[in-house]
Amino acid sequence: MTCPLVYSPECRRYDFGGGHPLNSRRLELATDLLRELGLLERHGVVPPRVASDEELGWVHSAEYVAAVRALSERPDHPLLSRLYGFGPGDNPPFRGMHEAAATIVGGALVAAEGIASGAFLHAFHISGGLHHAQRAQASGFCVYNDVAVACEFFRRRGWRVLYVDADAHHGDGTQALFYDTDEVLTLSLHETGRYLFPGTGEPEELGEGRGYGFSVNVPLLPLTDDASWVECFECVVPPVARAFRPDVVVTQHGCDTHRRDPLTDLGCTVYTAEYFARRMHELSHELCDGRWLATGGGGYDIWLTVPRAWTLVYGVVSHQDVPDEVPDTWRQRWRPLAPVDLPRRMREDPSSDAPPVVRAQNLETADRVTRRVLEILGGRA
């Protein structure tokens, strides 16, 4: 079975325009680095497709999909431009938006279909991870929620889905779409919403009805470093995953946890990106025969962080060693456009400089969350 990268240049059409934080050049930089390192030769690159309206309707309302289509044709539509979460700022509508966003969803479905059929063991949908989109609202640079559609694809096949989100921003859209089901467990480690968009993701958000206990949140304090992030991950994710017993794992690898990211306040390095991928890889083999769909996500330091972080993630997904040196050919090719000196090392030493009170409070939160969720899940067994 192969472990492909799901991608094509068509994915870069999902772009809100100059000056917007979500710059699709990050995909070009990352895939070019993967290609330069020879990491795409073993398993290849699988292109996405365009998701159908029916598939989008698994998690989005028909009215919302129709509105996105209309705004794709006329971004300045006088009635729709400020409805459904669109407008100046985070989610400005653009021409061709529906097709671009449906292609991102289609990439998640190509990955999910390959995993379900046994053609793929793992897959990395690098342009995916648009986890803020709600049933009838765009949010946080996200038009359609590709990870939720992938989770729903697996759920409709009777599989229990473990979704783990490592983005610095809470995966609120995906959580909301599965808040009342026990078939999808959503688990998010993120910067606390007291300081960061979308302002949600508190430990008390546990789900409702049959879904009570199947929404898990670990809000982390600003300045959280690699050491604290890893400590919290190990406290929560492995025991909750084992208690849930998934049939497939879906992960979101936003790398805006990095201390250089301009939109967040955490203090991690690319060490956390590789660590998270490696541990989820191990858990997927331990719990569900390796069935694992990984996606991209946030990441707004496009020159220094995103290419390295997602290269390290795909190295884990594809069972390939990533060298410690960034190829000089890649650095030379992008140097004329880069506003900074491009990195020479692929990895960084793990950070451990968070104030002691941050580490203590993070671990207390993680331990409290774990004990409560395991109590609920144990009662449901």
CB 106: neighbour CB atoms within 10 A?
A: 27
pLDDT score for 81: 67
- Quick check: 213 and 373 in contact, CB under 8 A? yes
Average confidence score pLDDT of the chain: 97
The H or E element spanning position 125 is strand 122-125
pLDDT digits (tens, 9 = 90+) for 310-331: 999 999 999 999 999 999 999 9
pLDDT (average), residues 53-69: 97
**Rounded Cα gap, residues 63 and 40, in angstroms:** 39
Rounded to an integer, the average pLDDT of 6-25 is 96
pLDDT for 82 equals 75
Rounded CA gap, 354 and 370, in Å?
22
pLDDT, tens digit (0-9, with 9 covering 90-100), for 248-268: 999 999 999 999 999 999 999
DSSP for 56-70 reads HTTTS-HHHHHHHHH
The gap from C-alpha 187 to its chain's centroid, in whole angstroms, comes to 12
Query: CA-CA distance, 68 to 14, in Å (whole number)?
Result: 13
Residues 361-365 have a mean pLDDT of 98
Q: Is residue 257 within 8 Å of 229, Cβ to Cβ?
A: yes
DSSP codes of every residue in 218-252 = EEE-TT-BHHHHHHHHHHHHHHHHHHH--SEEEEE
Across-strand partners of 134? Answer: 137
Provide the pLDDT confidence category of residue 78 given band limits of 50, 70 and 90: confident
Other beta carbons within 10 angstroms of residue 228's beta carbon come to: 28
Note the pTM of the prediction, 2 decimals: 0.98
* 126 neighbors 12 (Cβ within 8 angstroms): no
Give the start-end residues of each E strand in 211-309: 215-220, 248-252, 292-295
Average pLDDT over residues 59-75: 96
pLDDT at 325: 98
| % of the chain with per-residue pLDDT over 90 | 95
C-beta atoms surrounding 222 within 10 Å: 16
Measured CA to CA, the distance from residue 183 to residue 312 in angstroms comes to 30
Does 132 participate in catalysis according to the annotation?
yes
Contact between 216 and 369 under an 8 Å Cβ cutoff? The reply is yes
| Residue 258: HSE in the Cβ half-sphere, 13 Å Cα cutoff | 29
Q: What is the mean pLDDT of residues 167-187?
A: 98
Distance between CA atoms of 63 and 66, rounded to whole angstroms? 5
Judge contact between 235 and 141, C-beta under 8 A.
no
* Cβ–Cβ under 8 Å, residues 112 and 150: yes
Q: What is the pLDDT of residue 379?
A: 74
From 60, 132, 190, 253, the catalytic residue: 132
* pLDDT of 381: 54
Residue 133's pLDDT is what? 98
Residues 179-193 pLDDT 10s:
999 999 999 999 999
Which helix (H) or strand (E) segment holds residue 270: the answer is: helix 270-288
Give 380's pLDDT tier (boundaries 50, 70, 90).
low
β-pair partners for 268: 258
What pLDDT does residue 83 have? 82
d(CA 169, CA 201) in angstroms, rounded, equals 9
Task: Identify the pLDDT of residue 108.
Answer: 98
Confidence of residue 147 (pLDDT cuts 50, 70, 90): very high
Task: For domain 5-49+104-380, give the CATH number.
Answer: 3.40.800.20
Query: What is the Cα–Cα distance from 42 to 107, expressed in whole angstroms?
Result: 20
